[in-house]
Structure 1
């Protein structure tokens, strides 16, 4: 007999439902403070339905949307757990992104890049000049 939608899930049941290995769920617990399954004697984990909903959102963001662990952590910090649950609700629709950051996937190629701040542009040009000088030095060494 199948469990009801409100029943707790063991780690093997949650992993099967999310299509990830059990060790991935254990790893996520170390990276995401908001993933806290109930633990019984002997450390056996039981996931509540809301835990599985959060995990579904985390899985979608990491595996389908291309977020990094830091990106999901930032999204949780900025928008809360409801945003993570919402990400897992509809697997067919793309998850809306928060404000752009270095931890999120880049925008589609068709989107115009955001304007760059002048101070950042100067730093990038200085770094490029340093790299070009280093390359020239390496080329000279290799030519000997």
Structure 2
């Protein structure tokens, strides 16, 4: 049975979702101060939705983008590598298309294409 969106996750649930061992999540807690799950009796960890989102972001930076822990710390503190929020649903397709074309042009200039 899957939990509702926004429900707290245990360390084992988050570990399974990210496919990383539990000790890695505990290590991340020592290296990323913003990652602070609730701890109940017996040191049981419960990750709030914000903690889950941050853990997903850390995992993405380390495993997908290839950052080192120090690089991921810097990227998170400087706001780099964060996924931009999705556009509101009421944005006209023409506006979205023009924004995407602008981004493509900036990327082309940056790559020298």
TM over 0.5: yes
* Separation in 2, partners of 1:7, 1:79: 26
Structure 1 length-normalised TM = 0.55
Unaligned runs of 5+ in 1: 90-110, 113-144
Tell me how far 1:2 sits from its aligned partner: 2.1
Q: For 1:96-111, list aligned pairs within 5 A.
A: none
Q: Alpha-carbon deviation of 1:11?
A: 0.2
Q: Write out per-residue CA displacement over residues 100-127 of structure 1, whole angstroms, 9 at most, x where no aligned residue.
A: xxxxxxxxxxx68xxxxxxxxxxxxxxx
Unpaired segments ≥5 residues, structure 2: 87-110
Aligned to 1:22: 22
Normalized against structure 2, the TM-score is what? 0.69
For residues 8 and 48 of structure 2, the distance between their equivalents in structure 1, rounded to whole angstroms, comes to: 5
Distance 1:52 1:73 in 2: 16
| Equivalent residue, structure 2, for 1:65 | 65
For 2:51 and 2:58, locate their aligned partners in 1 and report how far apart those are by CA, in whole Å: 11
Instruction: Provide the secondary structure at the position in 1 that maps to 2:6.
Output: coil
- Give the RMSD, CA atoms, in angstroms: 2.2
User: In the comparison of the two structures, how many residue pairs are matched?
Assistant: 87
Larger radius of gyration: 1
| Equivalence for 2:46 | 46
Counterparts of 1:65 and 1:78 in 2: how far apart (Å)? 16
Query: How far does the alpha carbon of each residue in 1:68-106 deviate from its partner, in whole angstroms, 9 at most, with x for none?
Result: 1111111122128xx54x28x9xxxxxxxxxxxxxxxxx
Deviating beyond 3 angstroms after TM superposition, the runs of 4 or more aligned structure 1 residues are: none
